[in-house]
Amino acid sequence: MDGADEFMKYRSPLVSRYASKEMAYNFSDRKKFTTWRKLWIYLAKAEKSLGLPITEAQIKEMESHQKDIDFAMAAEEERKLRHDVMAHVHTFAHCCPTAAPIIHLGATSCYVGDNTDLIVLRDGFDILLPKLARVIDRLANFAETYADLPTLGFTHYQPAQLTTVGKRVCLWLQDLTMDIRNLQRARDDLRFRGVKGTTGTQASFLQLFQGDHDKVEELDRLVTEMASFQKSYLVTGQTYSRKVDVDCLSSLASLGATVHKICTDIRLLANLKEIEEPFEKDQIGSSAMPYKRNPMRSERCCSLARHLVALIADPLQTASVQWLERTLDDSANRRISLAESFLTADIILSTLQNISEGLVVYPKVIERHIRQELPFMATENIIMAVVKAGGNRQDCHEKIRVLSQEAAAVVKQEGGDNDLLARVQKDPYFAPILGQLDAILEPKTFIGRAPQQVARFLSEEVRPLLEPYRSKMDVKIELEL
């Protein structure tokens, strides 16, 4: 095909624009159909070991042709047969004439279709988990660095009590640690469909082994073991339960919600000029406004995370409408929803790793925002100091209330800076405590146990989760913008 023809048809941007090579390959036709051939080889080997008349020469022939798929022939066969599995059976048989009679022996289409999907889901998690671990690692390092840097907290996106930059990042990490546990659990819970036959009863294999139930169970066990699964589902219909897809994609959708929240926070902080994502030397923020540094990586994550969250609706609905032993209205949907969920999760994790490796903090801006709000927050501390110096609480409260409202009017009505501190310093009533004001207004006295919480959280909950991924921690992400 002329390369220019590629630009005459839709290409999914998930692959053409964003996804890693590893995840794109995981959902590729080559991975899918070479896995089908592996499964046919596993089946033949297991059947031979249990006494069926299959020769070593037939197995060697299949093994020698496992990867040389004639995709053009398979496409032509599918056009004729209107059946993708039989098209590939015929294509495999064409290059394995000796093995042709025993390829797919006793199996139904879902033997290769569903088992391959389960392998691809497992391998997809194995790609995502180290990426998620690296994001957690980078953010944990960032949280540790800024564990005791005071910053203005926000509730309702209104100024609130102080926290620290590191403690805020631990809120992100808390969600991400839940996500890595969810992904690991979903991955470890996967079982193989195994060798179950047309409606899941194993009737065809029981016939092949002349009613020997033990051999049928051993066949299932052998093939499951060859595919590197610990267990197979003991009961299936023609397909494995589509609730398995719900379980997998719900963990990814939940990750999408986490990433959306993190990247929204970064976008809000970028607006405040407190924290910014990385920005390349020659990167352009706006075609019209040269001064702009837009948080485009975080915006990309939010955009794709919405898609990831939305995709959970597909497996939920698919699982709910699988009639009896199975219907085929799952097939077209799953071709899209399974691949897109993993591809999208892959992209947002790569992007978030890139962001987390280059976050920029502006302590002076953070300090200025604290100065604008802290006098209001310190009023209770000022009252306590006055009382300790012999003053009356109610009188002091009224003085502070009046001065606070005057200062608030300067900020809100005149657009000026918060001058509450200057008003307190001018008022003779507060003369007994003027020497204490600097100590009263020291930001670190307002952050509570935030630094201690960061240290304990990172040591007890975050770092231990990362131990299994230590060998994969050094991978850096070079992001294509």
Which positions are catalytic? 156, 286
Q: Give the C-alpha separation, 69 to 9, whole Å.
A: 25
Contact 301, 355 (CB under 8 A): yes
Backbone angles phi, psi at 58, to 5 degrees: -65, -45
User: In terms of residues, how long is the chain?
Assistant: 481
Structure tokens given for 94: 């064409």
**Secondary structure (H, E, C), the chain:** CCHHHHHHCCCCHHHHHHCCHHHHHHCCHHHHHHHHHHHHHHHHHHHHHCCCCCCHHHHHHHHHCCCCCCHHHHHHHHHHHCCHHHHHHHHHHHHCCCCHHHCCCCCCHHHHHHHHHHHHHHHHHHHHHHHHHHHHHHHHHHHHHCCCCEEEEEECCEEEEEEEHHHHHHHHHHHHHHHHHHHHHHHHHCCECCCCCCCCCCHHHHHHCCCCHHHHHHHHHHHHHHCCCCCECCCCCCCCCCHHHHHHHHHHHHHHHHHHHHHHHHHHHHHCCCEECCCCCCCCCCCCCCCCCCCHHHHHHHHHHHHHHHCCHHHHHHHHCCCCCCCHHHHHHHHHHHHHHHHHHHHHHHHHHHHHCCCEECHHHHHHHHHHHHHHHCHHHHHHHHHHCCCCHHHHHHHHHHHHHHHHHHHHHCCCCCCHHHHHHHCHHHHHHHHHHHHHCCHHHHCCCHHHHHHHHHHHHHHHHHHHHHHHCCCCCCCCC
